[in-house]
Structure 1
Amino acid sequence: MRLHNLLCCSTDANFDPDVDSDVKKPATKTDKPEPYSASAAGALFQAYADPDEPATIGAEGFERLCTDANIPLDGAMPLLLAWQLDAKEMGKISKEDWVRGTDALHVSSLAMLALALSDLHALLILNEPSPAPSITTSTPAKKKKGSAEAPAKTSYNRTRYQRYAADPNKAFGELYAFCFVLAKPEGSRNIDMDTATALWGVVLNPRYPQITDVIAYITEAGTYKGVNKDLWSMMLEFCKGVKPDLSDYEADGAWPTLVDDFVSWKKAKDANGNPAEPMAE
């Protein structure tokens, strides 16, 4: 599955999960938070696993899972899900990665999975740390002799969240680097430009709105076909280190050609008050 298709829409316009009798589905799309259990996490995986490949949640199952958990497919949350599960391919989750990831997060319900991803989205994409809840683990407390039954704890394990919150910029860098590896076809050194701009639009844009102009330039130029690891990394550095008005941009700073060309295009456009002609690659 192509990443930008997953972020924007279903890959199969004729697919309707409500009429696919071969695929097991949860009883409800809005389940309540429940204490974590490995068996429940396993059952949740099987509800979305590919009938022909039961050890994998495939593209259609991935989309149904996101839809049932109210995880928007047109934003960064599917990427956060893939990141937290250490998925090897966008739109697919192996049983091994699911078990390891859900155990680390202590999530075994759609509601808790959505909560964990929503917190990460606020912290890393919107740069808005969420207040720590009073319950920080889904492991039930042990009952003391002679005491009343301890209430079940229903929050996910926020150990990862707390690590990310200690240095959000570092954590965002980890997510950003993961996205390139996730989107890069096996055996290739590049990702195609359509995928790169789709990723930049949902991952970089909320933090660095100037990427919108970069995407506009790339689209207008129409000559850039792919993005390698160096360009991917430098685009984040450009957004982080250069002011949106480009007043502190240093042309001799060893920027990739695409960035130099964008800056020339943008400055000419701003100076003339008219759209500048894109420069040749």
Structure 2
Amino acid sequence: MRLSSIVCCVPNRTIYHSEDEGSRKSKKLPMSVKSSTAKNIKPASSEISDGAPYSAAGALKLFARFADVEEPDVIGPEGLETLCTEAGVPMEGAQPLILAWQLGTKEMAKIRKEEWVKGMEDLRISSLKTLALALQDLEDLLILGKPPMQRFSTPPSKKATKAVPTENDGPYDRDRYFRYTFMKERAFLELYQFCFGLAKTEGSRNIDMETATAFWSVLVVPKYPITAEILDFINAKGTFKGVNKDLWNMTLEFCETVSPNLDNYEADGAWPTMLDEFVTWKKGKNGDEGENKAGEE
């Protein structure tokens, strides 16, 4: 399943048609399908769309623009999709998850007002353009492995006609970004573990396999290509239904430590069964089984 389908579909709370009560409880609303009860989105003002400097009032205005009509203290799935669309944030990639992580949201595809206010204040962001830039910066650094940008800390020269930028200069506060540059793997692990909690429903110890594979595809595949083969195996097998926290964490460790050709894989390494089965599948796919049969003859 595509990540956008996961992020954009949540239990429907407010949009009802003629279904009976049982249907209402289980129905899901794809974000790509607009309901007749959807709110009218006001045209964006330049204050919140063109990268204007941060202001608390601007951040609140931006939140209000995408908040639910019936629940004005929440940006729900539809508002989130509209926000991402207008900001140019791709729903198919990791950036919606990075946004949730940076804001510390508690529920999938929902941003509460207090989460937004604190997150925007910490990052000093109150415009769509700046928000999109911050999310792209973090994706480049933590997932795509691009070189970090340089921070400027040289004090301005008295003779200079233009002051040298200070370390906090820029369209938003990059202090957090620069901290991540010194602990990239730790920061990525924080994002990765956050996503498991984000996807896990209350009272459950697992996340469903469709959600796990969608998250792996955007979080881990770009960093560790062997993950793509693991996803191929999961799809081919078709019997894995859920992922607990141990399997979630061990899958990342496997992708980080085991080479793509499996030459450093240790069968007695206490890997989860799914990963042991993946190794058997990959070796068979690569012809190792055929070589073994030839040796036996």
Does the pair score TM above 0.5?
yes
Is residue 45 from structure 1 mapped to residue 58 from structure 2 by the alignment? no
Q: 3-state DSSP class of the match of 1:227?
A: strand
Amino acid at match of 1:15: K
CA drift at 1:21: 5.6
* Structure 1 counterpart of 2:86: 68
CA shift digits 1:100-139 (9 cap, x unpaired): 100000000001101111100100010113323659xxxx
Please list, as runs of the form range in 1=range in 2, the aligned pairs for 1:263-278 lying within 5 A after superposition: 263-271=279-287
8 Å contact 2:201–2:207 — kept in the other structure? yes
TM-score, normalised with respect to structure 2: 0.80
Q: 1:49 & 1:130 partners in 2: Cα distance?
A: 34
Q: 2:204 & 2:263 partners in 1: Cα distance?
A: 36
* Structure 1 counterpart of 2:261: 245
CA drift at 1:95: 0.2
Cα-Cα RMSD: 2.7
| Match of residue 160, structure 1, among 149, 153, 176 | 176
Q: 3-state DSSP class of the match of 1:191?
A: strand
Which range moved further: 265-274 or 6-15? Answer: 6-15
8 Å contact 1:205–1:211 — kept in the other structure? yes
* Structure 2 counterpart of 1:257: 273
8 Å contact 1:69–1:111 — kept in the other structure? yes
Amino acid at match of 1:91: A
Structure 1 residues 229, 170: closer, same or farther in 2, change over 3 A? same
Amino acid at match of 2:259: K
Is residue 92 from structure 1 mapped to residue 110 from structure 2 by the alignment? yes
TM-score, normalised with respect to structure 1: 0.84
Please list, as runs of the form range in 1=range in 2, the aligned pairs for 1:74-153 lying within 5 A after superposition: 74-132=92-150
- Unpaired stretches in structure 2, ≥5 consecutive residues: 10-28, 154-164, 291-297
Q: Percent identity?
A: 51
Q: 2:68 & 2:239 partners in 1: Cα distance?
A: 38
* Structure 2 counterpart of 1:5: 5
- Unpaired stretches in structure 1, ≥5 consecutive residues: 136-150, 275-281
CA drift at 1:155: 1.5
CA drift at 1:22: 3.3
8 Å contact 1:90–1:182 — kept in the other structure? yes
The runs of at least 4 consecutive aligned structure 1 residues that moved more than 6 Å come to none
Q: 1:104 & 1:21 partners in 2: Cα distance?
A: 29
Structure 1 residues 196, 4: closer, same or farther in 2, change over 3 A? farther
Structure 1 residues 8, 186: closer, same or farther in 2, change over 3 A? closer
* Structure 1 counterpart of 2:233: 217
Q: 3-state DSSP class of the match of 1:71?
A: coil
